[in-house]
Amino acid sequence: MRLINHAAQKGQAIVFGLLFLGVAVVAMLLVYNHGILTRDRVQLENAADAAVYTEAKLFARNQNFIAYTNRAMVANELSVGQMVAMRSWAKRYKTIPSWLDSFPAYQIPVVPPSPRPNLADLLKAVYIPYIAIGYGIDAVSNPLIGFYPTTVSYFNMALSMFQKAFAMATVEAQIESMIDVVEAHQNPTDADPNDDLYIPLLGYYFLTQNAALTYFGDTFSYENLYSQASSAMSSSGGGAAGGVGAADEEPSTTDEVVGSFLGGLNGPETMLVDTNPERYKKKAGASDPPPNDDAKEAYKRFAAIINDNRNDWLAKRHFNLGPPPLSTPEITLPLGPIRISFSLTLEMGSFNDGGTAYRYNPLRTSSTGDGIERYGWTSIDYTSLGFKLDVDIVIELCLWFPVVGTKCFTIIDGNIPLGFGMPISGATEQLVAEDADAMRTAPQWGFPGMDSMGMAPGMYNDTFHMVHAVTWFWGQVRNIYGTIPADVKTNYAGPPSFFALNDSFAESGTSHEFSIAVAKKLKDVPTTDSPDGLNLNGSSGNNLHRFQLDTQGPVDGTLSSAYATVMWQETDALMTVSSAETYFASPRADKPEVASQFSPFWDARLREPSAITMMIATGEINPFDLMEELNLSSGIMGVAEWVIDTALESLTEPAKEQLLKNVKPPVKQYAEEVVDEVFDQVTGTAKDAVLNELGNYVP
């Protein structure tokens, strides 16, 4: 028999318990570290998403402000057009006696051989009510035309200044809100006092990049971007670089990736085009003036919007004094295989036609140096006594075919406007910024029959119908087309400058990409190997270093230490990049509206960072080479100051010059003092606010 010593077996389970306890502690620390890293990562991403969305939302507000002010400019211009139309309309009736007395055919006596009364006297008696109306309206409109266009057009210039000032204020607000939103996502506690998120230099570069592309895309180096993107994509196997996978619908080639980022396949596209001609003047020492094609297109669209929104009084003044029109039934002439069908409409009497249009003098455009059209208001009115004969004609070729039978093919289906009239009166009125902008001869306005000849229709309704052909000619004899100074007013500040949407962005309906970089130093993340992580790395006397599980090492990726030190301001950090954009949110899904800066339906949304943004974030594309005028080595303060100074020089200074350009002495001296004071105060306050905010934020 063998005796068992139970006392010798006591404590054997402790060995297994200690082993399990060690594994459990390590597992708990791993779970703790994972939870802390996940929490801080979510905190970081939430801060970045909120900050970049705020940036985009502020810019959407800026776009909507531009839309409202642009619409106000259109309405103001139309009110000026009403005044110009009234002047032309009244002048046409007021000058009836002088027209009748000057036209040779009206000097024929009614009862020969007595010279009086003649036909002119008889017609003056018939048109007495119209002559009286002309004098009455002229008496009212003449004083108004002296100050109203000046007041309204300068008010439009002031709106233009407000657009530039609001753009600067938006940049300032974006910088401040970016800082405030990131700081608001910090959550310092007694146990975790160093819960510090920060925006590195890369974040301010992204904001600067967006501002540059938005307002002056020509500062961006397309060649450097393309070559660096091509190299980065080649090294990553041809897909989108920077760890961003390219989905099937996403850009994949270098052309597509770069074109999508810049807004166009042919190079950087300025999103908001400033139409101010002062921006496109040749600077001292420059070989060529800045490109202005976008500005020219924007002015054409602005003029088209104005002309499309004219009421009937402006677009097609028409009054026919005479019997009702006579129409014939359709008459068909079968001429073998040719079949001719036509009907006639005859109108007789006094034809009063006119129109007012916002247009430019092509001869002036070629002499301005910048090639930008100088738009102004032009109005023309005719009264002629005669007839109009409209011929509606259809000519068909009818052939017989087996099985199908006779089949007819239309050769001509149209209207031939004929007419003849004798001149009763005519007048024009022009409102331009400078005398050189005015049209001076009848062909510059148009010529009779231009519609029936297949040429582009005129902008003045039926004033160039054949019934007014003689009136058109006699108007040239009487110099009504701008030769007489009284027919041209120059108390107009010129077409306002405004922000317009580039065609590429009108097509896409989205803005340039807004991006932000936000980071948190790993030493501020309270994991087990952080100074604030469970106090595990205190003095060596604690003898707890074995539990300091490594979370502070470098992350995988292409981010070099040198690039991280400069652009991220830290080599060991949690880092994230978020992006957003503004988009045109048309309120009518059943009838989508084309994106423009005349409709205030812009909103903001988050988006995936583009491949180019990720390449910049990881250092595969060097931002130092993309914006050659930007000295990134000057740090955050220098980057912010560059944005503001460039906006001042490129946007607000030309706006101030345009506003003061046509102010006449002695008012000009006082106006310059007021504008300079307001300008310096507004822009200086915005700049100081940004730099002060950054000074408080940047270590």
User: Given this model, what pLDDT does residue 181 score?
Assistant: 92
- Confidence band (pLDDT; 50, 70, 90) for 5? low
% of the chain with per-residue pLDDT over 90: 28
Residue 698: pLDDT above 60?
Answer: no
Is 50 exceeded by the pLDDT of residue 68?
A: yes
Q: 530 or 87: whose pLDDT is higher?
A: 87
- Given this model, what pLDDT does residue 630 score? 64
Tell me which range, 21-35, 110-124, 281-295, is most confidently predicted by mean pLDDT. 110-124
DSSP one-letter code for 510:
B
What integer pLDDT is reported at residue 524 of this predicted model? 77
In the DSSP assignment, the letter for residue 370 is S
Q: Is the separation of the CB atoms in 504 and 264 below 8 Å?
A: yes
Strands, E assignment, 512-631: 514-521, 573-584, 602-607
Q: Is the per-residue pLDDT at 636 higher than 60?
A: yes
Band of residue 364 on the pLDDT scale cut at 50, 70, 90:
confident
Distance CA 230, CA 236 (A): 10
> What string of DSSP letters covers 78-120?
HHHHHHHHHHHHHHHHHTHHHHHHH-GGGGSBSSTTS--SBHH
Spatial CB neighbours of 319, under 8 Å, sequence gap ≥ 6 = 352
Q: How confident is the model at residue 541 (pLDDT cuts 50, 70, 90)?
A: very low
Instruction: Report yes or no: 254 and 232 within 8 Å, Cβ to Cβ.
Output: no
Strand-pair category, 338-360 with 375-401: antiparallel
C-alpha triplet 554, 556, 557: angle, nearest 5°: 115
CB distance 495 to 374 below 8 Å: yes
Specify the 3-state DSSP secondary structure of 333: strand
Measured in residues, the chain has a length of 699
Note the pLDDT tens digit of each residue in 242-275.
Answer: 433 333 456 668 888 888 888 766 667 889 988 8
Average pLDDT on 156-184 reads 86
- 144 vs 551, more confident: 144
Q: Strands (DSSP E) along 226-316, which ranges?
A: 272-274
* 120 pLDDT tier (thresholds 50, 70, 90): very high
Give dist(CA 173, CA 182) in Å, integer: 14
Cβ neighbours for 623, distance < 8 A, ≥ 6 positions apart: 202, 205, 209, 567, 616, 632
Q: Which is more confident, 364 or 139?
A: 139
Q: What is the pLDDT of residue 339?
A: 86
Is 460 in contact with 451 (CB distance < 8 Å)? no
Cβ burial 373-400 (10 Å sphere, 16+ → b, else e): bbbbbbbbbbbbbbbbbbebebbbeeee
Q: Give the pLDDT of residue 274.
A: 86
H helix runs in 492-586, sequence order: 503-508, 561-563
User: How confident is the model at residue 353, as a pLDDT?
Assistant: 93
Q: Encoding tokens for residue 495?
A: 């077409």
Compute the distance between CA of residue 448 and CA of residue 468 in angstroms, rounded to an integer. Answer: 7
Percent of all residues in the chain with a pLDDT value above 70, rounded to a whole number = 74
- pLDDT over 60 (residue 312): yes
Q: What's the pLDDT at 244?
A: 36
Is residue 660 predicted with pLDDT exceeding 70? no
* Burial bucket for residue 615 (CB in 10 Å: 0-12, 13-18, 19+): buried
Burial of 108: CB neighbours in 10 Å, binned 0-12, 13-18, 19+: exposed
Which pLDDT does position 623 carry in this prediction? Answer: 82
Measured CA to CA, the distance from residue 103 to residue 384 in angstroms comes to 12
With a CB cutoff of 8 Å and minimum separation 6, the contacts of 215 are 167, 270, 271, 272, 274, 647, 650, 651
The mean pLDDT of the chain is: 80
pLDDT band, very low/low/confident/very high, at 374 (cuts 50, 70, 90): confident
Q: pTM of the prediction?
A: 0.82
- The C-alpha atoms of residue 86 and residue 646 are separated, in whole angstroms, by 44
pLDDT (mean) for 71-96: 94
Structure-model confidence comparison of residues 656 and 481, the more confident one: 481
Q: Which residue has the tokens 């036609």?
A: 353
**Average pLDDT for residues 685-697, to the nearest whole number?**
58
Contact 416, 391 (CB under 8 A): yes
Q: Which of 1-15, 28-42, 394-408, 676-690 has the highest mean pLDDT?
A: 394-408
- What was the pLDDT predicted at 200? 87
Burial of 262 (0-12, 13-18, 19+ CB in 10 A): buried
Q: What are phi and psi of 120, to 5 degrees?
A: -60, -40
Which of the two residues, 697 and 448, has the higher pLDDT score?
448
pLDDT at 365 over 70: no
Q: Is pLDDT above 80 for 119? A: yes
Specify the pLDDT at position 141.
85
List the one residue out of 613, 631, 604 whose CA is nearest residue 174.
604
The pLDDT value recorded for residue 478 is: 93
> pLDDT tens across 578-618, in order?
999 999 998 877 777 889 999 999 999 999 999 899 888 88
Q: Domain ranges in the chain?
A: 37-69+163-289+501-697, 310-494
Return the CA Rg of the chain.
38
Report which listed range, 54-63, 614-623, 634-643, 660-669, is most confident.
54-63
Q: Quick one: CA dihedral 66, 70, 72, 76, positive or negative?
A: positive
